[in-house]
Amino acid sequence: MEAAKEAVNCLTLPAIQELKGLPTPPPDCVLVTKAVLILLKGEKKNHAWPTAQKMMANPKVFLDQVKSFPGENIDEWKLKDVQPILDYEGFTYENMAKKSQAASFLANWVINIVKFNKIYKMVKPLMESAEAADKLANEKLEELRVVLEKVRVIVEKVDALKKLLGEAVAKKQAVEDDANALALNLSLANRLVNGLADENIRWTKNVKTLETDKITMIGNALVSAAFVSYIGPFHSADRTSLWSGQWISDIIEKKIPYTEGVDPLGVLSNDSAQAIWKT
């Protein structure tokens, strides 16, 4: 196609005017115009020189028609009618250049425009297939773009959910840690409470004893003080007779609180101290 365009571009208005003005052109020139009449004008029968002159009557219009000729769409009958002309061994640029400059360029245009048409018809299915494949590829790319966008949105949502899950797991772990710590403290508290259960009994008993001692302390102290102050030098039997027989009776008579069965030695000392005295 480029060769055909180049041939047309070499055509000049003066050259066409010169060819058109030939009263009796060489037969080869008439053969060139016949091929042009078939292709350009679709002329099937009248290929005489006057018809060719009429075709070139306006050189500028003629040149524009040749330049704009659609080489992709040439009827089969035109190609069939032109083929014998192309088969003529003298139908070449070099041979026609000896006859007429315009005829040589027109011959070159005919040769190359027919070649282009044959090549185009072979390539056209491939071009259409390529266009279809390209269209399909673009459609698939668009579909892929849509899918990738959806995937991107889903990935963002998944990442957000993963973040929320991580935060929830961290909170859960913190709660479990607190629960474990509280459980440990509770276990220790239970062990302490259980360990102090017996002490609680003793403390309760001691509290009751102290409550009682707080009242009976007066009589107990009175007996113990008198024991130390007055009857320490006496014999044991005499001491016992005095405090248990006389003083206790006096305390009871005067309604002074005391511990029943009180022993001054028990108030003033304890069993271990008394054991030492006896050794």
Domain ranges (residues) in the chain:
2-127, 201-277
Return the amino acid letter for 21: G
Q: Is the pLDDT of residue 20 over 80?
A: yes
In total, the chain counts a number of residues equal to: 279
CB count in 10 Å sphere of residue 269? 15
Q: Is the pLDDT of residue 5 over 60?
A: no
Amino acid 54: pLDDT: 94
Amino acid 266: pLDDT: 76
What does the mean pLDDT of the chain come to?
85
| CATH code matching the domain that covers 2-127, chosen among 1.10.10.60, 3.40.50.300, 1.10.3720.10, 1.20.920.60 | 1.20.920.60
For residue 265, give every residue at least 6 positions away whose Cβ sits within 8 Å of its Cβ, in sequence order, or none.
Answer: 227, 274
Amino acid 255: pLDDT: 86
Phi, psi of 69 (to 5 degrees): -65, 130
What's the whole-number mean pLDDT along residues 176-190? 88
What's the whole-number mean pLDDT along residues 105-131? 85
Judge residue 199's burial from the number of C-beta atoms within 10 Å of its C-beta, 0-12 exposed, 13-18 middle, 19 or more buried: exposed
For residue 55, give every residue at least 6 positions away whose Cβ sits within 8 Å of its Cβ, in sequence order, or none.
Answer: 33, 36, 37, 40, 41, 62
**Whole-structure pTM value:** 0.49
What's the whole-number mean pLDDT along residues 124-149? 87
pLDDT 10s digits, 164-180: 999 999 999 999 999 89
Q: Is the pLDDT of residue 3 over 60?
A: no
| Token reading at 51 | 């018809």
Amino acid 70: pLDDT: 87
pLDDT 10s digits, 42-93: 999 999 999 999 999 999 999 889 888 888 888 999 999 999 999 999 999 8
